[in-house]
A and B are shown apart, each in its own frame.
Chain A
Amino acid sequence: MTSASPCEDTRAGASLTAEPVLRVRDLQAHVAGQQVVEHVDLDVAPVGVTALLGRNGVGKTSTIKAILGLVGRSGTVELDGTDLVPLPTHLVVRRGVGYVPEDREVFAGLTVRDNLRLAERRGSTHHYDLVYDLFPELHQRGGQAAGTLSGGQQQMVSLARALLNDNQVLLVDEPTKGLAPRLVAEVSRVLARAAQVAPVLLVEQNLQVVRDLAQHAVVLTDGRSVHHGPAADLLADDELTQRLLGVHADTGDQGRPADPEAPA
């Protein structure tokens, strides 16, 4: 892809044994009385990208939402020695958890500038320089309603909202979903840069992106974490990838068609 992945960062190798930034144990999540996450253990390495993988509907997004407290949850989620489970979502986030949701979830009726202003977290410096350096387009389109942006531009707003603040960890859910290949490369480049600022937990279906970015991988099956290890080892093992992810490692994408989305 376009940019050096943080794999080459020498600290990444050491981080396998280093204290995780986020330690999730026996996480369970329920939505409308239904248990959607049964038992998830995972560590987010203090450096680089940890990928959260699995077939569709195994509970990856629910795991992310449970870490944030956006769905009912139990278990422990430890960030910097504090258990986040008793905290409401806004306090979880203020502890330095950046979130890029699946489907972007920008505020369509607000301008790009207001989307960013709303994301300014108290007690954090606001890195507009970084954000506008990564996404100069957002500066030009500051006065435009976010709902009128293309899918790729909305993803930029969504990423920018998270990168604007100081974060201890970034939770990024399917950032390349539905994007054209050129934009997938762009998002991948941004994530590589983001991972230099804060460690990332990344849900991603596009295995090429995972290969480029992730050092560690956790795989879910039916709401349970069933595999932990170096991402490269998982993706090198065709039999294992086939069994856990339902794809051949070398074909890349997990059978999801990308809607071609025209950049405006």
Chain B
Amino acid sequence: MSTVVLLLFTGVGLGAIYFLVASGLSLIYGLMHVLNFAHGVFLSLGAFLGFEVASRLGATTWTGFAASLLVGALAGAVFAALTERLLVQRLYERHIEQVLVTVGLGLAAVALFDGIWGTDPRFISGPAWMGRTTSVLGANVPNDRFVAILVAALVLLGMVLFLQRTRYGMIIRAGVENRAMVTALGIDVRTAFTLVFTIGGVAAGLGGVLASHYFGYVSPLLGQTLLIFAFIVTVIGGLGSLTGAAIASVLVALLQQFANYYLAGTGDLAVVVLLAVVLLTRPSGLMGRRA
């Protein structure tokens, strides 16, 4: 029982991190039809800069942790906004070129991080409470799981409120449905494009800081490794659907954790099998619209 509870919390915690990456990917694809292969480096940059700030302010203090989240989010936002403005927007509607430029940016940024921070993982420490465990139904759950889940839940809530309550949110929802018609109403969707990238960057930057605590380290490849699973999550959830991304994040992470524990470390394989099953039975994903 306690093992199941621990796997549940660990799985949902990992799902929270997947969601923070996948939500941006899904919104970006939904609105702009761009597969952003550089999304993982937004996360890595957030993690590295968060780590730097936390170690200067005191990694074991709550102030340091809060500042690392803030800086991580900001770094992700700025990097993502610049990527959209300087690279992606120039390749509007040229999808192959967009893939090439984001793949290239991903490789270049990882090499840059290698150069600055080295290829070895940097081990992270946080406030003492985050390293301890809390007993839930007999299982000792590491506290950083709760923080990841809480932050991801707040990000999901914030995104939903933004999409439902604001004019830009309305433009984004309408643009995911039918971008051409949005422009035909006299709306410049390019502002919405930059905004969606920025929001995705914020989520990825937060995800970076949380992932470095979850795994205990940050390395230049952290983001791009998570990106693979985030893409799988996005496809399973349905490209363009935020709710789909949230559900699929938790589903994929739980499957991965349980398969790793009970089926001799076959978590990654189980995820790929799930992806295949979803693609065969519901090609547009759990919550996706028909293509």
Contacts and interface: CB of A to CB of B under 8 A. Distances in A.
Given A70-B180, A105-B181, A93 B170 contact: no
B1 interface: no
A229 interface: no
Interface string B170-194: 1101100110111111111100000
B191 to A, nearest CB: 10
A68 B184 contact: yes
Interface string A113-131: 0100111011000000000
Nearest to B188: A90
A143 interface: no
A117 B185 contact: no
Interface residues of B, number: 17
B186 A70 contact: no
A117 B173 contact: no
A107 B177 contact: yes
Contacts of B167: 117-118
Given A90-B183, A108-B177, A118 B189 contact: no
Contacts of A88: 183, 188
A197 to B, nearest CB: 17
B192 to A, nearest CB: 11
B261 to A, nearest CB: 39
A90 B193 CA distance: 14
Given A114-B170, A117-B170, A161 B185 contact: yes
Contacts of A107: 173-174, 177-178, 181
A118 B177 contact: no
Contact of A89 (B170, B177, B178, B183): B183
B186 A109 contact: no
Contacts of A101: 181, 184
A117 to B, nearest CB: 7
A29 B28 CA distance: 29
- Of the candidates B167, B183, B189, the one having the most CB atoms from chain A within 10 angstroms of its own CB is B183
A108 B182 CA distance: 13
Interface string A241-260: 00000000000000000000
A32 to B, nearest CB: 11
Interface residues of A, number: 22
A94 interface: yes
B186 A122 contact: yes
A117 B187 CA distance: 12
B185 A118 contact: yes
Contacts of B185: 90, 93, 99, 118-119, 121, 161
Contacts of B178: 105, 107
Given A90-B189, A105-B178, A110 B173 contact: yes
A89 B179 CA distance: 11
Contacts of B181: 101, 105, 107
Contacts of A117: 167, 170
B214 to A, nearest CB: 34
Contact of A90 (B170, B174, B187): B187
Contacts of B184: 68, 70, 89, 93, 99, 101
Given A110-B170, A114-B170, A121 B177 contact: no
B136 to A, nearest CB: 38
Interface string B245-286: 000000000000000000000000000000000000000000
Nearest to A96: B186
Interface in A55-100: 68, 70, 88-90, 93-94, 99
A93 B186 contact: yes
Interface in A10-27: none
Interface in B180-212: 180-189
Contacts of A110: 170, 173-174, 177
Contacts of B182: 118
Contact of B183 (A93, A121, A161): A93
B177 A109 contact: yes
A197 B135 CA distance: 71
B183 A118 contact: no
Nearest to B171: A118
A121 B177 CA distance: 19
A70 B93 CA distance: 12
Interface in B100-157: none
A99 B187 CA distance: 13
Contacts of A165: 186
Contacts of B187: 90, 118
Given A90-B186, A90-B189, A93-B185, A118 B170 contact: yes
Interface of A: 68, 70, 88-90, 93-94, 99, 101, 105, 107-110, 114, 117-119, 121-122, 161, 165
9 contacts: A70-B180, A90-B188, A105-B181, A107-B181, A110-B177, A117-B167, A117-B170, A118-B174, A161-B185
